[in-house]
Structure 1
Amino acid sequence: MTDFFDRTGDAAYTRVYKEETPDILQTWAAFNGAVFATEGREIPLKYRELIALAVGVTTQCAYCIDSHTQAALRAGATKAELAETSWVATAIRAGGGFTHGRLAFKLAENPPHQH
């Protein structure tokens, strides 16, 4: 996926959303704007951006990693905070593999009934 990532050129394709589903795009933009509003939220913007970065790292979305890294830096995040955020996401992703592995053991002990 990242082979196709073009920070400046890819935004041009937003025109398809504008042409085909402008109502949904407008609703999403308003929702996204509310989530990342600079004021009026309990969690400071820097932390919301770091959360978004962690989700981007977990889902491996180059666009999210790019945009939320830049937004986190603008909101005052340090490189150390970016590093710790990435490690948290990595630990959670690895933990998911660990716990789902246990599910495999459980299913191996209790195979489904054959019909």
Structure 2
Amino acid sequence: MSEYFESTDRQYTQVYKEHTPDILAAFATFDEAVFAREGRAIPLKYRELIALAVSITTQCVYCIDGHSKNAVKAGADEAELAEAAWVATAIRAGGGYTHGRLAFKLSGAHEH
């Protein structure tokens, strides 16, 4: 585990509770709605796999930890976790490819 990812990190949620409890509560309510077990068009397993892929893309270790476990709890298997990781990898690589094109455009070098 990385030094910035420790099991005791949740204690720092207290800062949010102390200074912005209204925003924290709104976020918790929003998150609960997004990941509600029932009542959504996309089944929970797939929402958790989407969340895992996004977490891998944004490289949020806390989200990877939580959403990989939640995906398994919702019925995902290792093959599905692997495919979600590859989807994230493809999208991240695609971002590098397209931002490279943007670099060519913005550099002005192509005009010479």
TM-score (norm 2): 0.92
- Percent identity over paired residues: 68
- Cα RMSD, aligned residues only: 1.6
Letter in 2 for 1:39: E
1:9-61: CA deviations, max 9, x gaps? 11111111111110000000000000000010000000000001001100111
Letter in 1 for 2:97: F
Match of 2:105 in 1: 106
Aligned residues: 110
Match of 2:3 in 1: 3
The correspondence of residues 31-110 of structure 1 with structure 2, limited to 5 A, is 31-107=30-106, 108-110=109-111
**Gap runs ≥5 in structure 1:** none
Q: What is the alpha-carbon distance in structure 1 between the residues aligned to residue 20 and residue 104 of structure 2?
A: 45
1:48-107: CA deviations, max 9, x gaps? 000010011001110000000010010000001000100100010001111111122233
Q: More displaced, 98-107 or 83-92? A: 98-107
Instruction: Look up the SS of the partner of 1:29 in the other structure.
Output: helix
Match of 2:13 in 1: 14
**Gap runs ≥5 in structure 2:** none
Shift of 1:110: 4.3
TM-score (norm 1): 0.89
Shift of 1:2: 3.3
Q: More displaced, 21-30 or 98-107? A: 98-107
